[in-house]
Chains A and B, each alone.
Chain A
């Protein structure tokens, strides 16, 4: 396992095209063992796609990959494993078997491939081997514990240990620190340093720039499927330099937001947080007619904030005032009664009823309005309202009775918005509303949101894309690690500044 000579992976001119998208365009990059190289870029920049190529999970790539100067084909995960490439995906739960012990999970390969003959497991050997690997990595986990009892951080460790058993020479960590606490992150970094000493190459994907400076020797920046450039972490390099590279020459879109009157404050929080600490110390204020952005990278707690405001996480801590009244919603139903509306991020899972018709989706919030004696639904009235909404939102559907699941993403999103239009909602919370929606539909969604603000609604707009926040919002709160890192006036800020705070930067006072 000990290998003193340097191993090198070279990627040359790799491209991948998915239907309608050039996910990677002529990307070249070099990774060396014994070093940690960070790979960064905005969402959709192509980092994960590139890593999947190395892990053999993207078999359709064009271009060449060399291991120590020898050309290799990485057309399936076994190819990658044979070359010694291991990957730790964000969703560690999907790779581990929760009902088996730590030892069994670490020694999966041994159990699956090496157990010959009658297939009788030598438990002593299995546990001893697993423990040896964990000890080498300096991890203190009982090998006989069931994986389901581990914390997320420990599960990550188990996946890393499994990779080590498989003679991994390059380890890809895909945003490993996003779900970790400060202390757990420290432990992970210790492990990374240890692995580097053992001549393992680390490829580290993260949004948290200040972390990368601590742990990585090199930083490669990607944007729109291309490699923008690489820099050495040499003590001179600053977060700002990287932010500049990430943004490149971003173009500014235009959106007419005129015709709104900013009214009184309708939502105000003082040190708000949820009971489990997903978000904490939130101080924010929103007025009628205003569009307030919540920016921050994936995992910063934006969705959690939206759901906390919406009562999804139960009672809150701190102070929460809506329309001048102190409230503490214990459920979404309570929040809706106070005049809130949520357009959730996971549209198909939380926003729409995919098997139901457009009509039924549009009336679900306000069914009471259509129900007469004995709660019989006035179907004619329901259908008429649905038709009105379909017209005003320009939902492209052949009939109101079409199944929503058959509509495009953009039209599904309009349905999600539409269900609130005839409710008493005055505060609309949009959680990444344009995720997975094509450009044309995006613009229509923006216009709809402005339209709501013109009607005097207060809008909270969550996005991890800085350009979108700049386009849509009047003001933005930047989140990092579950709380608000900064409040910025949109007209006086830049993508650079938002990104600076999003990655954990603090004001140099």
Chain B
């Protein structure tokens, strides 16, 4: 019964960290000039920051055992609202950001009600919500890309200039700092607070949780709303980085975020979604992507490698779960 330190347990606990080290070594040898330098490291961190922030929401969802498929589209909404609340409706930046987050949380609450009160599977409920949001965003933007510097397709005039502070969020070092703050906050919340613990308990066995006196409906609501917060924030980072918000801006982060969270499951042998693991997962994908570019790997083939990494990570966490049975 005693837990021994074996090669197997070491791999299953620190597998992703090893993978990162190995990737580092390979790319350092393969593309020593382009890959291994400080500015490239910053580039990697920058490249994974939005994925990581959005994936924090997915992490909370996975921890609670709900699969939210709408979080990436919600990011588009958050970004679109945040930036246009300033430009088209003249709200001060903090107010606009809070308002955008609030609207996204409301969507999260609707998700939760559909799942808890109407007993619809989270995956399907949020699949439907994703379509609704997509339509809402298109309607809001008049079917065009949102650019806060010009009038909208629906005739909204620019009444306020988006401040420099907003654009700064999308540039280093701020975008990297925001990412680390998010990771630390979620890690503290999930691992060290009562409510985080309860989210894990609900995710682990909701029957036992309910019979232990936990109001699981409320906590599933909390999970959806917190997911929405990070989606909204991530969306605004997208807007800040690229200056515009396309209708598909958020959904390109859906798969990378899910992948990062799942790769992170096995981090430290935790076997469940966790903030640090998600960050490490995102970092692994980021490093591999960056390194392959540096080694002049054809960009159109990079997804093959990313997919294989995710597959490998899933096989590993399935093996860890089986070992616990």
Contacts and interface: CB of A to CB of B under 8 A. Distances in A.
A377 B197 CA distance: 9
Contacts of B192: 376-377, 379
Interface string A346-364: 1001111111100010001
A356 B212 contact: no
A333 B3 CA distance: 36
A108 to B, nearest CB: 28
Contacts of A354: 204-205, 324
A45 to B, nearest CB: 30
B38 interface: no
Q: Is the interface of A mostly helix, strand, loop or mixed?
A: mixed
Given A360-B201, A367-B197, A376-B192, A403 B213 contact: no
Contact of A351 (B195, B208, B214): B208
B209 interface: yes
A355 B1 CA distance: 15
A18 to B, nearest CB: 20
Interface string B206-219: 01111111110000
Given A333-B213, A402-B1, A371 B324 contact: no
A354 B272 CA distance: 13
Nearest to B192: A376
Contact of B209 (A312, A336, A364, A375): A364
Contacts of A342: 211
Contacts of B164: none
Contacts of B215: 331, 333
A368 interface: yes
A329 B193 CA distance: 28
* Highest count of chain B CB atoms <10 Å: which of A360, A377, A403: A377
Interface of B, secondary structure class, is helix
Interface string B292-325: 0000000000000000000000000000010011
Contacts, number: 84
Interface in B173-216: 188, 192-195, 197-198, 200-201, 204-205, 207-215
A360 B2 CA distance: 19
A376 B208 CA distance: 23
Contacts of B2: 398
Nearest to B202: A353
Given A364-B201, A376-B193, A398-B1, A405 B211 contact: no
A92 interface: no
Contacts of A336: 212-213
Interface residues of B, number: 28
A8 B276 CA distance: 68
Contacts of A403: 324
A367 B194 contact: yes
A480 interface: no
Nearest to A343: B211
A406 interface: yes
Interface in A352-395: 352-356, 360, 364-365, 367-368, 370-371, 374-377, 379
Given A331-B215, A355-B271, A403-B324, A349 B194 contact: no
Contacts of B205: 349-350, 352-354
B211 A406 contact: no
A81 interface: no
Nearest to B204: A353
A310 interface: yes
Interface in B1-26: 1-3
B195 A333 contact: no
B325 A349 contact: no
A350 B213 contact: no
A333 B194 contact: no
A403 to B, nearest CB: 6
A342 B213 CA distance: 10
Given A374-B193, A377-B192, A377-B194, A351 B211 contact: yes
B212 A419 contact: yes
Contacts of B212: 332, 336, 364-365, 419
A312 B193 contact: no
B194 A371 contact: yes
A349 B207 contact: yes
Contacts of A398: 1-3
A482 interface: no
Nearest to A334: B213
A375 B201 contact: no
Interface string A103-140: 00000000000000000000000000000000000000
Interface of B: 1-3, 188, 192-195, 197-198, 200-201, 204-205, 207-215, 271-272, 321, 324-325
Give the 5 A-B residue pairs with the shortest CB-CB distance, closest first. A336-B213, A371-B194, A375-B194, A353-B204, A333-B213
Given A371-B193, A375-B195, 8 more contacts: A312-B211, A333-B214, A350-B211, A355-B272, A356-B201, A356-B204, A376-B194, A403-B324
28 contacts: A332-B212, A333-B210, A336-B212, A342-B211, A349-B205, A350-B205, A352-B205, A353-B201, A353-B204, A353-B209, A354-B204, A354-B205, A355-B204, A355-B271, A355-B272, A355-B324, A356-B204, A360-B197, A364-B201, A365-B213, A371-B193, A371-B194, A376-B188, A376-B193, A398-B1, A405-B325, A406-B1, A406-B324
Interface of A: 310, 312, 331-333, 336-337, 342, 344, 346, 349-356, 360, 364-365, 367-368, 370-371, 374-377, 379, 398, 402-403, 405-406, 419
